[in-house]
Structure 1
């Protein structure tokens, strides 16, 4: 099949073949907009990482590969991409020859993990995690009934954090190979119990996985107007209120920590906005899910406000709401801001997108593991392993770590792992780098 290079649609490379996806097929993508991140790029390993165990996805891939072809023009375009170093922005300097060896080596690693059983679902483990987390929430409600209101609020915050990790895992299809079941459970845990829209989170988070720390791709590093991580962020301050906020950004490394508890307000707010726009979104999957997304988010806030109504006084209601919401925000934020914010970013058109393994390793920092941290962080302290193999069950990430460390050593890649305060200091340093840049420009 000869493809018109000016035709609408999307081209990406998978398993050595350039595939053409029509505009209609792109809009039907079950994962939504994340597929756009690998336009004109090699999506081989991101495809396998995301579609582990999906017979439907591999069936569709086989159909597309029948018409796949070698495209010399696009191959040369990939090799021409050069990165420009800037503040908090690194250059991907792996040669094309090294990259090919690395990609082949990573494929062998992925197969070895399969052979050793580390990709196998563990339903019993996740059943235990679900029951234990539901128990935390139930105990929070019981403490409220007993009149231990502040303790109840703190425990509810912890339950929301732990449901965040469980929802994350069900959305990544870790607990079972039954994808519809995983999606249904994630709707219950995520939307109804936690208040975060599953589809909003998938759209945001899958894009983050696909293009981690890549400028103009990864929304997790676009925190303007409150924070600026790279010089390019300064171009986003156009509205009058944004220009006003820009005056405090030179102090962002000082107020960043104080903003962490606000994360839950931000994410629940974005979730509400998302679900009530879902009917009009261009991707079919969002339109299909809109009703249940909306119903479960409404259900979440119904039980939250009813719970507050049961408290005896207004001061207690306000205190309970603030402690539970901000406590939940802090418990999630101190984790999700650690792994990537402390590491450099890469330009939007970087060739690193063609080297999935290098992208994840060079943009990710692990937190030093321990049994307590493994539980509190929901396994996200093994962020490198999780980003390389997002469908791998949490309980196997520790065992996977030794494989990945060895692979990094063989391929001359760093394996970043630090204690919390060391990693957090590097996070603040990234913010300080930009703060000093803004101050220098203003001088």
Structure 2
């Protein structure tokens, strides 16, 4: 899910009460890629400070940008949408918080953000991340050992576990959770991502940062766009004729959804190759400048990964090993990353929910109940609400901040959604079934 259309037209964003113009030169130079476009012509104050905690480079960049702000407030066009009642409102939430209450929630979240930072919860532990990296390397080496002793199936399953655990590490370094210096985080992400995992660090950032900035907002969050295989909102059905075979897929999407989860890793591997091959000609300076790091890392990954397959005894074993390892890794990744957001309501851009960062993240995210094993298996993403509120917070501090977030939600009258796995998975299936029912009604009209 790292490939998406780019928007390059000039626009404005508002930070700390000042409207800043984002022209072509500024946009190209943005190190975070297209994440900045999600707040086009909107107030991005809270999301800016949340995403760039501790980044001297980001605040220096902002200072220079403010010096060029227009003296007159720009004319910002209204966001208008005309949903079809009974169809376009399926799976869609409403944001009915008044401006006064929203302003108070924003103020309260700023206080929480300052408190969390003062308590040192944004500081990463080098020992923790060294241990996690060594865990994955030892897991891979043990898989090699089992392969050498002809235990091919257990070796393949163990490789799948390693793929999943490496997925959490590239996610954390791409969020700059350990080092205060972006460059060091990037180097670590190339090692655990491109080299060990086969995933593009830049491709992950390009998609994932947009998702964080506009979580479950239709038309902004690329993770909602699963067409032509799945439709997460009824709006996606409008792109296809009612008698097309794709509409048949949509009618049964709640049935075949679970069977497609294991293929997530293969999809990301392919899209990583495509993304990295296009990086030298990318629109954003950052991706062009880091292309050689990613290309070398990805090439080395496939060199050792294909070498591992080469030493298997025959083609049937190679094929088995390849698909078992990647499908196990894909399922272990997918059952986590789909639980947190596909099980909750989505929001229209016109709902104005993006004006309140805390509300956006809390109302579009579900936690999985924590536990020692779950914390390890899910890589801390069972604390997804906490992670979305503080994306640069290291994994090992998410459990510590959870009571503060619960208190914040209760004090401000906001939901705090946390469920066991099967409850959350059933709610996820129900969301897909809601759209499947709409697709079935539309296709029946022409039957």
| TM-score above 0.5, yes or no | yes
Contact 2:230 2:249 in 1 (8 A): no
- In structure 2, the partner of 1:313 is 314
- In structure 2, the partner of 1:41 is 42
Contact 2:200 2:272 in 1 (8 A): yes
Instruction: Render the CA deviation track for 1:56-86: whole Å, top value 9, x for unaligned.
Output: 11111122234446866658x67x7789570
C-alpha separation in 2, matches of 1:71 and 1:260: 50
Instruction: Render the CA deviation track for 1:89-143: whole Å, top value 9, x for unaligned.
Output: 1121111111111111100000010111111221111111111121111111111
- In structure 2, the partner of 1:282 is 283
The equivalences for 1:363-442 within 5 A come to 363-442=364-443
Give secondary structure in 1 for the equivalent of 2:245: helix
Query: Are the structure 2 counterparts of residues 103 and 70 from structure 1 closer, same or farther at C-alpha, using a change threshold of 3 Å?
Result: farther
Unpaired segments ≥5 residues, structure 1? 1-6
- In structure 2, the partner of 1:136 is 139
The equivalences for 1:37-116 within 5 A come to 37-68=38-69, 86-116=89-119
The equivalences for 1:127-166 within 5 A come to 127-166=130-169
The equivalences for 1:108-257 within 5 A come to 108-237=111-240, 243-257=244-258
Query: Are the structure 2 counterparts of residues 420 and 42 from structure 1 closer, same or farther at C-alpha, using a change threshold of 3 Å?
Result: same
Instruction: Render the CA deviation track for 1:298-357: whole Å, top value 9, x for unaligned.
Output: 222221111111001111111101100100100000000000001111113331111111
C-alpha separation in 2, matches of 1:243 and 1:339: 31
Q: What TM-score comes out, normalization by structure 1 length?
A: 0.94
Shift of 1:245: 2.6
Instruction: Render the CA deviation track for 1:243-284: whole Å, top value 9, x for unaligned.
Output: 323222211101100000010111111111111111221111
Tell me which moved more, 227-236 or 99-108. 227-236
Unpaired segments ≥5 residues, structure 2? 1-7
Tell me which moved more, 290-299 or 267-276. 290-299
Give secondary structure in 2 for the equivalent of 1:89: coil
Give secondary structure in 2 for the equivalent of 1:118: coil
Contact 2:193 2:201 in 1 (8 A): yes
C-alpha separation in 2, matches of 1:83 and 1:389: 33
Query: Are the structure 2 counterparts of residues 71 and 347 from structure 1 closer, same or farther at C-alpha, using a change threshold of 3 Å?
Result: farther
Contact 1:156 1:324 in 2 (8 A): yes
Q: What TM-score comes out, normalization by structure 2 length?
A: 0.93
Give secondary structure in 1 for the equivalent of 2:331: helix
Query: Are the structure 2 counterparts of residues 349 and 280 from structure 1 closer, same or farther at C-alpha, using a change threshold of 3 Å?
Result: farther
- In structure 1, the partner of 2:3 is none
Tell me which moved more, 163-172 or 127-136. 127-136
Instruction: Render the CA deviation track for 1:347-400: whole Å, top value 9, x for unaligned.
Output: 133311111111000100000000000000000000000000011110110011
Give secondary structure in 2 for the equivalent of 1:277: helix
The equivalences for 1:304-383 within 5 A come to 304-383=305-384
Give secondary structure in 2 for the equivalent of 1:247: helix
Query: Are the structure 2 counterparts of residues 81 and 113 from structure 1 closer, same or farther at C-alpha, using a change threshold of 3 Å?
Result: farther
Give secondary structure in 2 for the equivalent of 1:263: helix
Q: CA RMSD in A?
A: 2.0
Instruction: Render the CA deviation track for 1:7-35: whole Å, top value 9, x for unaligned.
Output: 96231111222122322011110111111
Give secondary structure in 2 for the equivalent of 1:132: helix
C-alpha separation in 2, matches of 1:124 and 1:83: 53
Instruction: Render the CA deviation track for 1:185-216: whole Å, top value 9, x for unaligned.
Output: 10111111111111111000000001000111
C-alpha separation in 2, matches of 1:106 and 1:374: 25
C-alpha separation in 1, matches of 2:240 and 2:72: 40
C-alpha separation in 1, matches of 2:195 and 2:139: 16
Query: Are the structure 2 counterparts of residues 367 and 275 from structure 1 closer, same or farther at C-alpha, using a change threshold of 3 Å?
Result: same
Shift of 1:292: 2.2
- In structure 1, the partner of 2:26 is 25
Count of matched residue pairs: 433
- In structure 2, the partner of 1:3 is none
Contact 1:10 1:23 in 2 (8 A): no
1:15 aligned onto 2:16 = yes
C-alpha separation in 2, matches of 1:399 and 1:92: 29
